Structure 1
Amino acid sequence: MAIPKKGSRLITVDDVVYRWRIRHKPTYGQGIGESPLRLAVQLADAPGRVLLVSLRCHRPDTWLGEEAAMVRPALVAMAITKALHSGWLPSQRGSQVRLDLSRDDLAGLAEIRPALSFTRFRA
């Protein structure tokens, strides 16, 4: 399955260009904070195996105000490098490869935002 060009971003890691994308709308599981934030990565010019990266945090648009992360290109580059060292071969055809990143992997690369706190006001 190829990542659509619309809504995706390009990133270069070790002189190789990749395309990455996060879903525009959360799935139901992501919206209620049950599923983690995920992004997909593949080669930009000759799509092969898709890398599916799961982060141990929530999307910024969760419905319940859970702690969320903002994904930056440095995080995507680190995930690509880690997957390549783990044996991901992006030029080969085949099923998707999954990579789960821990909170330690995210330290300093993802901006973690605390849950919103709502204050009740009396009239």
Structure 2
Amino acid sequence: MALVKKGSRLIDVDGTVYRWRLRGRPTYDQGLVWSPLTYAVEYADTPGTTLVVTTNQPHPSNWFGTQGSPILPSEVAAAIRAALTGGWTPARPGSPFHLDRSAGFVSSH
């Protein structure tokens, strides 16, 4: 399933262009700061398998005003490289590939 282009950003990682996007509104668990922010990445032109990255930050629009750091393009590039090393094949169709980088996330739970 391809990412929605509206609100997505392009990033060039080692000569390959990807599209990445944060969800604009938090999920229920993200709104309550029970689960961390996630974002999705795919090839920009020919989407295949989507990469879903779980961060260690709260969603910026959470309902408690819990502060987190912004997701920087350098972090997205590092996550893409880690996923490629971990076996993500973005050109092939298939189930989403999950990359968990949530170590250190503190839940409000």
Deviation of 1:37 (Å): 0.4
SS of 1:11's partner is strand
Deviation of 1:2 (Å): 0.7
Gaps of 5+ in 1: 105-123
> C-alpha distance in 2, partners of 1:7/1:101?
23
SS of 1:30's partner is helix
Q: Percent identity?
A: 49
Kindly tell me the number of residue pairs found equivalent between the two proteins.
104
* Structure 1 stretches of at least 4 aligned residues deviating more than 2 Å after TM superposition: none
Deviation of 1:60 (Å): 1.8
Larger relative contact order (CA 8 Å, sep ≥ 6): 2
CA contact (8 A) 2:36 2:102 kept: no
Structure 1 segment 1-123 matched on structure 2, within 5 A? 1-103=1-103
Alpha-carbon RMSD across the aligned residues, in angstroms, is 1.3
CA contact (8 A) 1:40 1:52 kept: yes
> C-alpha distance in 1, partners of 2:58/2:92?
30
> C-alpha distance in 1, partners of 2:100/2:12?
21
Matched residue type, 1:14:
D
TM-score, reference length from structure 1? 0.80
Deviation of 1:43 (Å): 0.1
> C-alpha distance in 1, partners of 2:65/2:5?
30
Matched residue type, 1:71:
I
Deviation of 1:29 (Å): 0.8
Deviation of 1:66 (Å): 2.4
> C-alpha distance in 2, partners of 1:103/1:73?
19
SS of 2:76's partner is helix
Looking at CA atoms only, which structure, 1 or 2, has the larger radius of gyration? 1
Q: Which residue pairs with 2:107 in the alignment?
A: none
CA contact (8 A) 1:48 1:92 kept: yes
